Structure 1
Amino acid sequence: MRHFFSIIGGMGTIATESYVRLINHRVKITRDQDYLNYILVNDAQIPDRTAYIKDHTKPNFFYDLKEDILGQAQLHPDFFVMPCNTAHYFYDELAELTSIPFLNMMRIAVHQFIEKYPKETKIGLIATEGSIFDHLYEDEIHRVHRKVEFGGPEIQPMVTKLIYHDIKEQGIVDPKLYHQILQKMHDDYGCNVILLGCTELSLAQEKAPDHPYNVIDPQSILADVSIELALKIRNGMDPQEACAKYLYK
C-alpha cells in the first residue's frame, strides 16, 4: 500500500472508532478509491494511562506504545497519529523513536484555539485525572501564554464519571451529563471556550453536539489535519514537507 498513515489507537477502542469514523465520513468521496489509506493499530491491551501517571508502581504504558510504533515504522507510513490525549505523556520519547513525522494532537489543538479565538485569554479544560495531574494540557496552554480554568471540585468527578463509568465501562454517552459539565464551566467559571482533553469527551461531542458552547475538540481537529495531510501527500507532496506546519516545538 502506498501513501498511508498509521493510527496508534485502542485508548480506548470506542474513542479510536470515533476518530476513524470522522476521517471516513469527512473525506470527500465519489468512489471507493477516494478514501484515505491508513493502518489502525487498535492496541486495547495498553495499560491504563491515568493509573500509571498518578502512580508509577502501576504498569507503564510506554513500552506497549514503543513496540507498536517501532513495528509500524518498519512499514514506513507517511506519518503517525495517536488519538489519545493522556498517552501524550510520553510524546517526546515516542517521537524520538523514529524520523517519521509524529503529530502531537495536544499542540495542534492548542494552536487552533489561539488561532480561532485570539482574544480569549483563558480556556476551560476538562480531561482525565491523569492529564490534569501531570499538567499535560496546562503546560501546552501556558506555552502560548493563555490561562487555564479547571472549574471547582465538583467538575472532575462529573468528568470522570462520563469518561470511565459511562463511556469506557458501558460504551454509552450521557448527553445530559456532558451538557451539564459544559454549562457549569461556562456559567459558573466564565469559560467562553472549553477544551475537551480526552478522546472519550470527543466522542461525547460527536454524539451530543446539540449545545450552545464553544469547544475545542482535539480529536476532531486531528481528523481534519489527518485528511489534509494525507491528501497533500497523495497528490505528490513530500510527507516531511506536508507535516512540517503541524510539528510545533
Structure 2
Amino acid sequence: MEAKSLGVIGGMGPKATSVFFDHVIEQTAADRDQDHINMVILNHATLPDRTSVILSQKGELFLEAVAKDLKLLEATGVSNIAIPCNTSHYFYDEMQKMTSINIINMVDESLKVIYDAYGEHCKVGILATNGTVSSGVYRKGCDQYNMQLHEPSEEVQEHVMDIIYNKVKRNLPVEPSEFEGIIQHLLEHDQCQCVIIACTELSCIPIQSEIAKHCVDAMAVLVQKSIELSGKQSITK
C-alpha cells in the first residue's frame, strides 16, 4: 500500500496529543526514520472547550476555529486527518463537510471493534466527558450496531470529570488504581461486558492488562486506523 501522510488536529488536550503521537511512532513497524509516517500535527490548544460549547449550544465557536485547521492541513497535502478527541466527534459530520480529506471517525471505528468482539446486545459502559456523554454520539452509534450503551451514575461521572479536568489536564498525577476502580465498578456492579475509554485524557492513564482486556480504548483504535490508512504496518498485529 502506498505510504500516505497523516494530518492531526491536536491540543484537545496537548498531553493526549503527545500520547497519540508517541503511540503512532511506537506501534508503526519501522527499522529506520524513513519507515515512519509523515505527520503534520497542529497542536491547537486554544480551541474552545468541546464540552462547554456542546452544553451551552455554541458549537459554532468550535467549528469556526477548527475550520482554519482543516484548511491548513489541506494545504500541506495530507491524505487523512486524525483528531484525538472524542468529544469533538459530536461535530464530525460538519467537519467532514468542510474538507475533501478523509477525517478518521474514531467513534465509529471504536464501535466497530466492540461489535466485532462482543456482537449485538452487548452492554457497553462509557467513560468520557460530560460533553461526549450528553452529546449522544456513542449512544447513537451503539443503537446502529444494536448494542446497549450504559452511562455511569451521576456520582461516578463526577469522579470521571474530576480525573479528566482536575488531574490529567492539569498535568497532575493520577493513581491508576483510582481509574481502574471506576472500570471495575462498571464491569462488576453495572454488569457491563465491555468499557469504552472514550476520552483521550483517560487514555493517558496506564491500567493493568487484566482490566484493559475488558476495555476498548478509542485512542488506541485511532492509532491503529491511522497507521493502516497511512499505508504502514502495525507491530501489534
TM-score normalized by structure 1?
A: 0.87
Q: Which residue number in structure 1 is paired with residue 24 of structure 2?
A: 23
The offset of 1:59, in angstroms, is: 7.8
Judged with a 3 Å threshold, the aligned counterparts in structure 2 of structure 1 residues 126 and 75 are, in CA distance, closer, same or farther, namely same
Task: State the distance in 2 between where 1:183 and 1:189 align.
Answer: 9
Identity %: 29
Asked whether the 8 Å contact 1:162–1:174 carries over to 2, the reply is no
Q: Which residue number in structure 2 is paired with residue 93 of structure 1?
A: 94
Task: State the distance in 1 between where 2:39 and 2:51 align.
Answer: 28
The offset of 1:153, in angstroms, is: 2.4
Structure number with higher relative contact order (C-alpha < 8 Å, ≥ 6 residues apart) = 2
Q: Which residue number in structure 2 is paired with residue 69 of structure 1?
A: 70
Q: Which residue number in structure 2 is paired with residue 222 of structure 1?
A: 222
* DSSP-derived class of the 1:212 partner: helix
Asked whether the 8 Å contact 1:124–1:149 carries over to 2, the reply is yes
Cα-Cα RMSD: 1.9
Where in structure 2 are the equivalents of 1:40-189 lying within 5 Å?
40-56=41-57, 60-118=61-119, 121-189=122-190
Task: State the distance in 1 between where 2:137 and 2:11 align.
Answer: 20
Asked whether the 8 Å contact 1:47–1:59 carries over to 2, the reply is no
The offset of 1:232, in angstroms, is: 5.4
* DSSP-derived class of the 2:127 partner: strand
TM-score normalized by structure 2?
A: 0.91
The offset of 1:159, in angstroms, is: 0.6
Judged with a 3 Å threshold, the aligned counterparts in structure 2 of structure 1 residues 59 and 167 are, in CA distance, closer, same or farther, namely farther
Structure 2 residue ranges without an equivalent (≥5):
none
Asked whether the 8 Å contact 1:162–1:177 carries over to 2, the reply is no
The offset of 1:180, in angstroms, is: 1.0
Equivalent AA in structure 2 for residue 225 of structure 1: K
Asked whether the 8 Å contact 1:126–1:195 carries over to 2, the reply is yes
Task: State the distance in 2 between where 1:58 and 1:8 align.
Answer: 17
Task: State the distance in 2 between where 1:183 and 1:190 align.
Answer: 9
Structure 1 residue ranges without an equivalent (≥5):
234-249
**Alignment pair present for 1:212 and 2:211:** yes
Equivalent AA in structure 2 for residue 62 of structure 1: L
Question: After superposition, what is the alpha-carbon deviation per residue over 1:108-159, rounded to whole angstroms, capped at 9, x for unaligned?
Answer: 0001110122265221111100011111211111111111111322210111
Equivalent AA in structure 1 for residue 91 of structure 2: F
How many residue pairs end up in the alignment? 230
Equivalent AA in structure 2 for residue 66 of structure 1: A
Question: After superposition, what is the alpha-carbon deviation per residue over 1:27-61, rounded to whole angstroms, capped at 9, x for unaligned?
Answer: 11211111111100110010111011111358821
Task: State the distance in 2 between where 1:150 and 1:101 align.
Answer: 30
Judged with a 3 Å threshold, the aligned counterparts in structure 2 of structure 1 residues 59 and 231 are, in CA distance, closer, same or farther, namely closer
Q: Which residue number in structure 2 is paired with residue 247 of structure 1?
A: none
Equivalent AA in structure 2 for residue 134 of structure 1: S
Task: State the distance in 2 between where 1:171 and 1:113 align.
Answer: 31
Judged with a 3 Å threshold, the aligned counterparts in structure 2 of structure 1 residues 140 and 119 are, in CA distance, closer, same or farther, namely closer
For structure 1, which segment, 5-14 or 136-145, has the greater mean C-alpha deviation from structure 2 after superposition? Answer: 136-145
Q: Which runs of 4+ in 1 moved over 6 A?
A: none
* DSSP-derived class of the 2:170 partner: helix
* DSSP-derived class of the 1:60 partner: helix
Task: State the distance in 1 between where 2:147 and 2:194 align.
Answer: 12
